[in-house]
Amino acid sequence: MARLTLPATKGNLLRLQGEHQLAVEALTFLDEKRDLLLSEILRLQGQAARFRRQVEQALAVAFEHLTEGLLTLGSEAVARAALGVTGDDVVALTERAFLGMPMPEVEFRPGRNRPQFSFGGTVSALDRCHLTVRQALGRVAALAEAEAILWRLAEELKHTVRRSNALSYMIIPTFRETIHYLESALEEREREALFHLKRAKARRARGG
């Protein structure tokens, strides 16, 4: 295992022991963060899958209504009817914090006014198509939010795992190896100093 090239001094040993302790605490924090991210990702994956099914089902129903309108009126009449649709619905984009990271919030806010068709020459199937799509927009917004958060959480998880691995397999082992080397070198130096001290005392005793 590699170690840092440092002079064997008490100051270097104390400094490195402090840095090692900080690295161990950082690893604990990153492990906890990784677990929280994984838990949130799994929860959101299930939620997003549920929203996706709901959106797909609603749009399938809307497509059936659209197909009925096309068969009854033809594509040109349907296109003209679509130009008459008005409304004041809003999609609001905001942010919230999760583990110190900004996360998007997407909210569909239905307007007060019900969007209206220009009903001349249309059929009820087009109205049902429009209403079905409008009702699905809340789930579309929720799905967009869940998938955007999933992407950000996955990126943060990747960075967290990379930092955790660096601490686990490189930084902390290097600190430990260096600390062991410094401790051994200082102990050897102390033993040598003690040996020389005993010899000096013995010489003085004999000379006395």
pLDDT tier, 116 (very low <50, low <70, confident <90, very high otherwise): low
Reported pTM: 0.75
SS3 label, residue 107: strand
Q: Which tokens in the block code for residue 188?
A: 């050897």
**% of the chain beyond a pLDDT of 90:** 50
Give the pLDDT mean for 152-158: 95
Q: Could you tell me the residue ranges of all domains in the chain?
A: 10-200
Among candidate residues 151, 134, 152, the one with its CA nearest the CA of residue 55: 134
Q: What is the pLDDT of residue 189?
A: 86
Q: What is the dotted CATH code of the domain comprising 10-200? A: 1.10.287.3240
Instruction: For 10-69, write each residue's pLDDT tens digit.
Output: 999 999 999 999 999 999 999 999 999 999 999 999 999 999 999 999 999 989 988 888
- For residue 141, with 0-12 CB atoms within 10 Å meaning exposed, 13-18 middle and 19 or more buried, which class applies? buried
Average pLDDT, the chain: 86
pLDDT tier, 113 (very low <50, low <70, confident <90, very high otherwise): low
Is 182's pLDDT higher than 90?
Answer: yes
pLDDT tier, 75 (very low <50, low <70, confident <90, very high otherwise): confident
